[in-house]
Amino acid sequence: MKKTIYLFALLPFLIACNQTEKITDVKETASTENNKILNALLPSMTIVYNEVNYKKQANTEWTKGVDSLFMANLNKDILNSNIPLYEAASGEYIIEDRIKTDANKVRSNIRKDGEISAIYFTEAWSFDSTNYKLDKKVLKWSPVISYYKSVGNKISSEKTKRLLYDVTTSFEGNEKLIASNITYEINFNSKLKTNDWLNLEKLATLVINPVLEGKHKAYDFFDKTPIKLDDIKINLGFGADSMEEEDPVTGEFKWLYITRDMRLDQVKAYIFVEDWYMDTKTFAIRKQIKTIAPIRLYYKYYSENASVCKKIVFAVDM
């Protein structure tokens, strides 16, 4: 049965990468204590899904994606190579259920009016709390093609996204740097169940607490200057509010002071700055995380309307 995967809202998804052990059953790997990976995030590696857009697809000022022309040429090289390709499947990573495809079939699926707009990653994440290091191991990756879908005689106003194929190869030959300082945001503030294995509060604790404790230096993401501890706390929601309230007995007005605690539970997005490497023979991708910046998502209320606001807590090198 042909598995055609359409992607309508992948931006909240994620990526991940670490270690070289073969993963055959993710559920078992993520729950067993008998693992070879020093990982404070979970007992073992955590599977994360994410989509990284290209430069011209950027939605935020801090996004710096891969050049779309480079990815179009890379796709041609892959289709002219002998590496195995598999039908793309999003969601749970099950290596045994892969279905092979071929270059001719992929070419027929590429619409003339379409363009490769992003890369969809399936990754395994692990956090080494001793060395303060988050690692991502790319288990597989897929080019994302975007196009306007025809409905009867009309063309849809929004683009449809579809995965072309899966690349699940490993490193065998020489690797080369294909992109430096790739900068993108992963937003987990979504009801989608794809990344449920990732414990967001645990990740926030592992990234933020060592900085609050003075073990690692952090800086402002934009101006790169050192950031004060008090400013970090404010960025995390710490503060005090005052309000005047009438005493129901005496009728006198009194000032009440309410202290707000830091909200690590609201840290549900991250900016990553990475270098990407590729095997020249197998097209496997490796990511080297250089900087991570946690983002706090919170609501501000204007009259009866509420909007989600973002606050970059700090940036820290890894």
Least confident range of 12-16, 166-170, 232-236, 304-308: 12-16
What proportion of the chain, given as a percentage, has pLDDT over 70?
72
Does the structure show a pLDDT above 90 at 239?
A: no
Torsion region of 34: left, alpha or beta (phi above 0 gives left; psi -120 to 50 gives alpha): beta
Rounded Cα–Cα distance for residues 51 and 31 (Å)? 26
Contact 122, 39 (CB under 8 A): no
**Chain-wide mean pLDDT for the chain?**
77
Rounded Cα–Cα distance for residues 154 and 289 (Å)? 44
Rounded Cα–Cα distance for residues 284 and 298 (Å)? 37
Query: 3-state DSSP: the chain helix, strand, coil percent, rounded to 5?
Result: 15, 40, 40
pLDDT confidence bin for 307, thresholds 50/70/90 = confident
How many residues make up the chain in this entry? Answer: 318
Contact 282, 171 (CB under 8 A): yes
Rounded Cα–Cα distance for residues 79 and 145 (Å)? 15
**pLDDT for the residue 313:** 97
**pLDDT for the residue 113:** 67
Least confident range of 11-15, 191-195, 288-292: 11-15
Contact 186, 207 (CB under 8 A): no
Does the structure show a pLDDT above 90 at 238?
A: no
273, two tokens: 């700055």
Higher local confidence (pLDDT), 64 or 142: 142
